[in-house]
Chains A and B, each alone.
Chain A
Amino acid sequence: MLLYLGPRPLTHEVSTRVRARSAMSKRTDRELVDAARAGESEAFGTLMRRHQRRIYRLALHLLRDAAEAEDATQETFVRAYGALDRFDGRSEAFTWIYRIAVNLSLNVIRARKPNRKSVSTEDPRLEGVLVETRAGSANPLGDSETRELGRVLCEGMDALSDTLRTTLILVGVDGLSHAQAGEVLGCPEGTVAWRVHEARKKLKVFLVERGFAPQGEEGAA
């Protein structure tokens, strides 16, 4: 028979930590930022975990490389933590973090060599699309078309300028509103709307040239 003479049972600490995290997760982004500034160690961690997936997907679509996207995501949060004192609260915290992520990703793009590899089936952006269409598919032909459409879409987005592509990713892929995208990019909503419209127009032309008929506003883009 073993006597337990150690500290309090681990389950109690775990439950306390879980309760603390649960309370932390209910805070708004701004409250988490304020708490992080005040020195609460877990506040920024909660904020990071809340937005890391979206930041990673954004970086992935901008950089088209999983490793670079991982580095950019990590760098984004490190830089954001270091610049917390300069966040004045005029925008949402996540648009502020998005801006850092976009700037870092663009820096990586500009530092790249001109010869970039073409889109292939190993494109990390397509990974999720292929996985979702593969399992339990009742329409292989449709899945094949979807994969091909995804591939051509990625090609079309790569053909856009950085400005149009970034705007389209923020609004089309990540689902930001025009106002939120404007906060990220530092431009008015009208400019965001124009850019999205231009990007979609060019994408449609790109798709039509490659045999994909447009299916309305959301059909292809």
Chain B
Amino acid sequence: MLSAFPFPERDWERDARAVEARLAEGLPAADESLLAAPLPSEADEPSSLSATATPLTNSGVRTQSLAELARRSVEKKQANERQMARESMALAAQQRKLAPASDAPRAAPIVSPVAAIAAVREGVPARTNRLPKVALALPALALAAAALLWFRRPEPAPVVTNVVIPTAPSPAASPVATAVPEVPRGIDPNTLPGEPTPAADPAPPKVAGAPPKVTGGKSPAKDGRPTAPNAPGDNSLPPDPDLRPADSRGGELSAKPSSGAVQAALGAVMSGARHCVAGDDAPSSAVVVFGSDGRVQHVTVSGAAAGKSSASCIEAQLSRARVQPFAASSFSVSATVRPE
């Protein structure tokens, strides 16, 4: 019925000539309000349906609202990435607590943190439960977390698709290290809870530069009380300009770098890698292979940047990552490089 309202009968030509006559007399003053969006929203109108009403004649008919939507989506994406990094760290910490110690470290299978988080949330044992049963002492975990906090960067953490399960030293393992390993740099020993002191561990990781010492004491993880420092007053850090990820045990090489160390290492170079793919529409992936010396041996780029000049740029940037030396011959990790 609404559409059936007809056009009223009028002398349309007369009306048109009247308008033309008025135009010939002169134009009225401009009124910008006539070009603005006419009506307010209804009181109960859903807010999600309403867009910022902009005049048709300016350059922002849709762009203002689209710009806001784009900003919100970028912020949301960054927030999601940060949340995912936090959850993956929490998941790794949880798994370290749950997993029993194991004699021989074995290779950690590559597991997507998203799948692992989803599996844990659903109560389904993640694939990482099939990992070798290793455990870290709580102080070692705290040390890794402290190192991560120390090396945290403003940009979101890179999406590391490999969940790294650091191997813990066996209580019966030989504590002898061929050389005093490089101790954590840039860590304030006052922030650390105590020394991880497995029975045969000669070098407490807390105090950088302290001589290896067999304390014979209990691990803080067992009694919950931090142990006394190695020597009174002997808590100075040796000077070392290079920042290195924390070493969880100080004296001997771990089988593989910890996930926190890997994240910190990649996080330090990820901003440069992102510059390489600025303007790309889709993210790129990179498999970073660390050698036992902690340096990057090889970077393989796939995804949007594959086959382009930006791939070599990403390789150059990610190759600057460094982790602590480890016992395995190599260690590979996947990372996602998202355009800025």
Q: Which residues of A contact B (CB under 8 A)?
A: 44-45, 48-49, 52-54, 56-57, 60-61, 66, 70, 73-74, 77-79, 81-83, 86-88, 90-91, 95-96, 99-100, 102-104, 106, 124-125, 127-129, 131-132, 149-150, 153, 161-164, 166-168, 172-173, 175, 183-188, 190-191, 194-195, 198, 218-221
Is A99 a contact of B56 with CB atoms below 8 Å? yes
Q: Of the listed stretches B20-28, B156-164, B171-179, B300-308, name the one at the interface; the rest are far from the partner chain.
A: B20-28
Q: Is the CB of B34 within 8 A of A57?
A: no
Across-interface contacts of A127 in B (CB, < 8 A): 8-9
List the 7 closest pairs (A to B, CB-CB), nearest first: A186-B37, A128-B6, A172-B2, A186-B53, A82-B27, A191-B49, A190-B49
Q: Are A77 and B5 CB-contacts (below 8 A) given A86-B35, A163-B42?
A: no
Q: From residue 7 to 29 of chain B, which have CB atoms closer than 8 A to chain A?
A: 7-10, 12-13, 15-16, 18-20, 22-23, 27-28
Does B5 contact A173, Cβ atoms closer than 8 Å? yes
User: B28 near A79 (CB under 8 angstroms)?
Assistant: yes
Please state if B22 and A74 are interface contacts (CB–CB under 8 Å): yes
Residue in A70, A102, A128 whose beta carbon sits within 8 Å of that of B9 in the complex: A128
With both chains docked as a complex, state the minimum distance between the C-beta of B249 and any C-beta of chain A, in angstroms.
Answer: 59
Residues of B within 8 A of A150 (CB): 1, 5
Asked, given contacts A53-B12, A57-B8, A124-B8, whether A183 binds B56 with beta carbons under 8 Å apart, the answer is yes
5 additional A-B pairs beyond A153-B1, A183-B56, beta carbons within 8 Å, are A124-B8, A127-B9, A187-B50, A191-B41, A198-B42
Give the residue among A44, A61, A175, A186 with the most B Cβ atoms within 10 A: A186
Cβ of A88 and Cβ of B57 under 8 Å apart?
Answer: yes
Is the pair A168, B5 in contact by a Cβ cutoff of 8 Å? no
Q: A168-B2, A186-B55 known; A194 and B61 CB under 8 Å?
A: no
Residues of chain B contacted by A49 (CB below 8 angstroms): 12-13, 16
Interchain CB contact under 8 A, B4 and A74? no
Instruction: List chain A residues, Cβ under 8 A from B12.
Output: 49, 52-53
Give Cα A56–Cα B51 distance, bound, in whole angstroms: 28
- Interface-centre pick from B30, B36, B49 (highest chain A CB count, 10 A): B49
- Report whether A78 and B28 are in contact in the complex, using a CB–CB cutoff of 8 Å: yes
B191 interfacial by beta-carbon distance below 8 Å: no
Q: Is B281 an interface residue (CB 8 A)?
A: no
For A153, the chain B residues whose CB sits under 8 A away are 1-2
Residues of A within 8 A of B31 (CB): 79
The distance from the CB of A221 to the nearest CB of chain B, in whole angstroms, is: 5
Say whether B190 faces chain A, with CB atoms less than 8 Å apart.
Answer: no
Chain B residues with CB under 8 A of A74: 15, 18-19, 22
Complexed CA–CA distance, A110 and B13 (Å)? 30
List chain B positions with a Cβ less than 8 A from chain A.
Answer: 1-10, 12-13, 15-16, 18-20, 22-23, 27-28, 30-31, 33-42, 45-46, 49-51, 53-59, 61
Q: Is the CB of A90 within 8 A of B38?
A: no
Nearest-neighbour CB distance to chain B for A176, whole angstroms, equals 11
CA distance A8 to B143 in the complex (A): 104
A81 and B23 within 8 A (CB): yes
Among A73, A104, A106, A173, contact of B39 (Cβ-Cβ < 8 Å): A106
Q: How far is the CA of A164 from the CA of B12 in the complex (A)?
A: 29
Q: CA of A21 to CA of B33 in the docked complex: distance in angstroms?
A: 33
Residues of chain B lying within 8 A (CB to CB) of residue A52: 12, 15-16, 19
Interface centre among A78, A95, A161 (most CB of B within 10 A): A78
B37 and A129 within 8 A (CB)? no
Distance in angstroms from A170 CB to nearest chain B CB is 10
Closest residue of chain B to A198 (Cβ to Cβ) is B42
Q: Which residues of B contact A48 (CB under 8 A)?
A: 16, 19-20
Indicate the member of B38, B40, B56, B58 with the most A CB atoms within 10 Å. B38
Contacts of A82 in B (CB 8 A): 27-28, 30
A152 closest partner in B (C-beta): B1
Complex CA gap A73/B7 in Å reads 14
Residue from B40, B49, B55, B58 in contact with A194 in the complex, judged by beta carbons closer than 8 Å: B49
Query: What is the bound-complex CA distance between A187 and B47, given in angstroms?
Result: 11
Q: Which residue of B lies closest to A42 (CB)?
A: B20
Known contacts A49-B12, A86-B35; decide if A161 and B2 are in contact (CB<8 Å): no
Given contacts A45-B16, A221-B1, contact A83 B35 (CB under 8 A): yes
- B314 smallest CB distance to A (angstroms): 39
Bound-complex Cα distance A192 to B18 (A):
34
Nearest A residue to B43 via CB reads A161
A103-B36, A163-B42 given; A83·B15 CB < 8 A: no
